[in-house]
Amino acid sequence: MQVLKFGGTSVGKPERMHQVAQLITKDEHSKIVVLSALSGTTNALVSIGESLAKSDKEEAKSKIQALREHYATFIEALFSTSEKAQEAQKMIDEHFEFLLITLKISFNEALNRDILAQGELMSTKLFTLYLEEIGVSAKLLPALEFMRTNEEEEPDLDLISEKLKAILVKENDATIFITQGYICKNHKGEIDNLQRGGSDYTASLVGAAINATEIQIWTDIDGMHNNDPRVVDKTFPIAELSFDEAAELAYFGAKILHPASIWPAQKMGITVRLLNTMQPEAKGTVISTATTSDDVKALAAKDGITAIKIKSSRMLLAYGFLRKVFEIFEKYKTPIDMITTSEVAVSVTIDDNTYLNKILTELEKFGTVEVDKNQTIICVVGNFVAERKGVVNNIFEALTSIPIRMISYGGSRHNISLLTDEGSKVEALKKLNTHLFDL
Ligand code: ASP
Ligand code: MG
């Protein structure tokens, strides 16, 4: 069984949905198809929730109305028979009745998550009805029946696997299954989600849960590129990546794949293919357990980084100092990205400033603390074996005119990270593109 995930833009227009139907029926493989909400829907639902949170019912109502009209137009173009169009309209109406009820009841976080779940529920039902219309037999698997998170709000892969397998044995005559990305139930049994962009994560978890032969992530670009196409003129899709390389890239900027979606596939050794709905024949990017060449594969950048330097003479010849520093970040659930140390100072970077002031107050107990906001991590990803000389030299040669605040090398063999200010990002990516890829 394969798992194929189609993102919001791949199902965001009626003609795209028609094309997805063609793509999933062109071979005989049995498959689970994971769908996102139609593009724009989750943003609209977030925005409806925001209006409700500030008790602006009028605003929420007009946003619900606008979204409803969007679906009405969508249905008109999606179906060619009035019978299925009516059935779809009735289904959509029920979801909008629910949204309208939220105007009348008291708002809370659990209700907000119910609201956010409507997008994937509607897209999968629309698609299933469309498949029925064109005579493709497919079975809708409600994700809320098997996608589970635990008390740490992390997906419970064992439980997902157990539940999903139990459902699938009962459905042994179907070969195409449709399910919702992103949504799940939490340990309290409430509707929840895997965070924005979480449909990729669903696909990887579902793939791992059933030990799929392959996981395909279909988007609107032809795989992961060697550099950010929004920043530099010339980029190319990377043919092959290892899981470790893909994880670094997904985390440090390549928006095409949700970073959390690497581990389930990697754990089970399931090949992940990144493919393009607009260009289905293109090879895309294959992420697998195979070792890749010992080269620089790609560059990525992550903005909005804050660097924090803690200088303390107490660190000199002391042990346990770093633990105390890290404990503060742990206490405020703030992940650290980069770390560099000297004998009397340690610099770390974070990308979430929610608890910055509290963290700084506690760090000041240890020594002097300096903060630089608006930094960018430039990340060079590849397979860097120490025997291959000159990689670092090459990077530095490209960046002679760029101010570099931190450097991290040797943490893993797949990543060399440099910290610079946001204003230098474009120039850094361009220079590296020319220098490392001759582009
Ligand atoms: N619909 C959700 C979002 O827009 C999940 C996803 O598309 O991956 O974030
Ligand atoms: Mg996405």
pLDDT tens digits, 257-315: 898 999 999 999 999 999 999 999 999 999 999 988 888 999 999 999 999 999 988 77
CB distance 198 to ligand 1 below 6 Å: yes
230 is in an annotated binding site: yes
Best substitution site from 6, 67, 182 to test ligand 1's pocket, by max atoms within 8 Å of Cβ?
A: 182
Does the structure show a pLDDT above 90 at 173? no
**Structural domains in the chain, sorted by start:** 2-219 (3.40.1160.10), 297-437 (3.30.2130.10)
Look over the chain and give the mean of its residue pLDDT values, rounded to a whole number.
Answer: 95
Beta strands in 124-209 (DSSP E): 139-141, 176-180, 183-185, 191-193
pLDDT (0 to 100) of residue 246: 94
CB distance 259 to ligand 1 below 6 Å: no
Long-range contacts: 349-358, Cβ < 8 Å, 24+? 349/305, 349/306, 349/307, 349/308, 349/375, 349/377, 349/406, 349/419, 350/305, 350/306, 350/308, 351/302, 351/304, 351/305, 351/306, 353/306, 356/306, 358/332
Greater confidence (354 vs 413) lies with 354
pLDDT band at 386 (very low <50, low <70, confident <90, very high): confident
Does the structure show a pLDDT above 80 at 253? no
Dump pLDDT digits (tens) for 135-169: 999 999 999 999 999 999 999 999 999 999 999 99
Does the structure show a pLDDT above 70 at 424? yes
8 is in an annotated binding site: yes
| Cα–ligand 1 centroid distance for 295 (angstroms) | 33
Give the percent of the chain with pLDDT over 70: 99
CB distance 202 to ligand 1 below 6 Å: no
CB distance 253 to ligand 1 below 6 Å: no
This prediction's pTM: 0.91
CB distance 29 to ligand 1 below 6 Å: no
pLDDT (0 to 100) of residue 254: 67
Question: If you average pLDDT over residues 56-68, what whole number do you get?
Answer: 98
Question: If you average pLDDT over residues 125-141, what whole number do you get?
Answer: 98
Question: If you average pLDDT over residues 43-55, what whole number do you get?
Answer: 98
